[in-house]
A and B are shown apart, each in its own frame.
Chain A
Amino acid sequence: MSARRIFARPARFAAIAPYLWMVLFFLVPFGFVLKIALSQTAIAQPPYVPVFDFMGGREAITAALEQLSFDNFKLLVSDDLYILSYLRSLTVALVSTAILLLIGYPIAYGMARLPQRWQPVAMMLVIVPFWTSFLIRIYAWINILQHDGLLNTVLLKLHLVSAPLVWLSTDSAMYIGIVYSYLPFMILPLYATLAKMDVSLLEAAADLGASPRQAFWQVTVPLSLPGVGAGALLCFIPIVGEFVIPDLLAGSDAMMIGQTLWLEFFTNKDWPVASAVAVVLLVLLVAPLLLYERLQHRQLEAR
């Protein structure tokens, strides 16, 4: 049987299908966005110039290409509105990821130590919220956090506060919303790593004189780092671009980059600047991802 037969057409299609998908639904749209980012805003339909006229022949396309410029990117650097938005997004994502890790790790650890037959149940409990729409769950939080909402009622009944606190439109509300929404994405990869950890390693640690606390820090934690990395990335990246939660729960004095983008696009109708914001955001997110990949690759090679 020749090698050519093995790579017959269906197999070859299966091999290139993921790339086809990436080109069609990521690279091509990204090309559009990049092109718009390099354009100028205009009162027109679509609201930017130049527009490629493929019927006009080679000269028309060259003329259009010459009109493209990096002006929008210069604007992003010159106006600190954008820089502040990016910084706020990164800060919020960093703080949220840290809180998620602090809450998610003990939960995942507890799940992995449950008796075998209870583990699927615990897993279900983590996944169940997904059956309700994300937006509805955030609106439910508005209800809980409002002036006479559930949280204030409970706090008053327990005499922990004497007057209702302001929750809505604060950073606390936003963090509550983000942590609540992203917790499963932190727990599941952590649980997966912790559950497959060999229990005899902990016994070996104990046998060699490590107290349960020492065994946790010397054995469990280092061995769960891949799970920590996966969970942190799964949370950090979407939180940076988060729009709905800060828009509905946080105040309006500081904006995350997702909100800024929304504003440029829908309120200011400035598609080119909005596109530039999106391109920079993508680069900001992809850079650490590539770095992480490279690092992991090097670790694998060191083995």
Chain B
Amino acid sequence: MAEEIQKSEPELERAAEPAKIEPPVVAASLPIKLEPDMPLLRIEAVAKKFGNFRAVDHVSLDVRAGEFFALLGPSGCGKTTLLRMLAGFETPDEGRILLGGKDIAHVLPHERPVNMMFQNYALFPHLSVRDNIAFGLKRAGMARVDIETRVAEMMALVRLEGMEKRKPDQLSGGQRQRVALARALARRPQVLLLDEPLAALDKKLRESTQRELMELQRRLGMTFIVVTHDQEEAMTMASRIGVMDAGRLDQVATPRDLYEAPASRWIAEFVGDINLFEGQPGAAEGGRLAVSTRDAGTLYVTEPRKALKGAVSVAIRPEKVKLSRRAPAVDEANAFNRLEGTITDVSYLGGQTTYKVKLDSGATVSSTMANTTRIVDAYLAGQRVVAWFTSDDCLVLDQ
């Protein structure tokens, strides 16, 4: 038995290679007529308290049909509670949840046209793979013949042919994940909710499954809402990301905007690595703003559009900080910010190397540089260097 499972692992690896794009097998059935500009799902000022704890604090969000949307945040931020309200397992205390214009906030879970893929998969241990997938179809009163057809379709979709008679505990983790996905997709929901869909998989399988999920979502044209605490996962898969913290939805943006234009210092630190310098904004001159910082002297940043009030942080991503032995000329690459210091730490990561530079003020700046050549002209710990970056690459964030 254990051998069989092992034998099927190479199949999984092979299956993980990008598939050819085929016409959609399952067209999402949409009995709801959407107006051209109408979002499929509209969450309006939804709030939920558990005792005195505000799990979800007046969140509003629109999700368009066909979107791959990710709710990202640390554990306890309310993202799972929000997802469970979409599935109907929790009822909002306030606000509305409109699906195709109809308020479903108080509709019972078994009467909603949405399906969920559970974090622990929640496969029925007493039912075979086939019966797990057919469960929702039987409840919908589908004819026996149609159920057989649909189950076969689903098994093919997640490449589990031949496993129909197996019980969940006879499957590997990756296979169980596929069964859970097939079961949730079988009813052709208008929205598929995925609760940490990849958390239980090992790293290698997680990466291939990410690609498969994206591929599947595009092929089915279905709306996916995924909850995750893993920012890389969210960035890779989602077309838009909503970042949640302490029950609030802090920013909704594309992965690129989230990374390059985070709305707050908290988000800047949560998504990726970043260098931060606290300081006071000074005078603007020629589209550039001078910020006098405690640790890095005066830094020049491109003047932000919004007005600043009080103390700010100048933020710069490590890969936008360059190193050189001598200070570049002023006109070279717009290098307005030059910080001198000593390299204290070198982390070689293969494709790139991260250097920690200790400034004379005592503060540390991280710089990540791509190793574009084999014979790298590397910097060594203890070397004096100039870390420089342009004013365009800097962000100014409120404290």
Interface residues, chain A, with chain B CB atoms under 8 Å away: 198, 200-201, 203-211, 214-215, 218-219, 222-223, 303
Contacts and interface: CB of A to CB of B under 8 A. Distances in A.
B259 interface: no
B139 A210 contact: yes
Contact of A208 (B1, B120, B139, B167): B139
B379 interface: no
Question: Interface extent on B, as a size class?
Answer: 20 to 34
B143 interface: no
Given A204-B124, A219-B124, A209 B139 contact: yes
Nearest to B193: A207
Interface string B123-141: 1111000000001100110
Interface of B: 1, 87-89, 108-111, 115-116, 118, 120, 122-126, 135-136, 139-140, 167, 169-170, 183-184, 187
Given A219-B124, A303-B169, A205 B135 contact: yes
Contacts of A204: 116, 118, 122-124
A198 B120 contact: yes
Main secondary structure of the interface of A (DSSP, over half): helix
A208 B126 contact: no
B115 A207 contact: yes
Which 9 A-B pairs give the minimum distances between C-beta atoms?
A208-B136, A209-B139, A204-B122, A206-B109, A200-B122, A206-B110, A222-B126, A207-B116, A209-B110
A14 B110 CA distance: 53
B139 A200 contact: no
Given A203-B89, A203-B109, A203-B118, A209 B124 contact: no
Contacts of B183: 208
Contacts of A206: 88-89, 108-110
B118 A208 contact: no
A207 B83 CA distance: 13
Contacts of A201: 122, 124
A223 B126 CA distance: 7
Given A208-B187, A223-B125, A200 B118 contact: yes
B120 A207 contact: no
Nearest to A214: B139
Which of A200, A204, A218, A219 has the most chain B CB within a 10 Å cutoff? A204
Given A204-B116, A204-B123, A218-B135, 19 more contacts: A198-B120, A200-B120, A200-B122, A201-B122, A201-B124, A203-B87, A203-B89, A204-B118, A204-B122, A205-B110, A206-B89, A207-B136, A208-B135, A208-B183, A210-B135, A223-B125, A223-B126, A303-B169, A303-B170
B124 A210 contact: no
A135 B115 CA distance: 56
A251 to B, nearest CB: 44
Contacts of B88: 206-207
B124 to A, nearest CB: 6
Given A214-B139, A303-B170, A209 B126 contact: no
B317 to A, nearest CB: 39
B187 A209 contact: yes
Contacts of B169: 303
A20 B241 CA distance: 67
Contacts of B116: 203-204, 207
Nearest to B131: A218
A297 to B, nearest CB: 16
A207 B187 CA distance: 10
Contact of A209 (B87, B122, B140, B170): B140
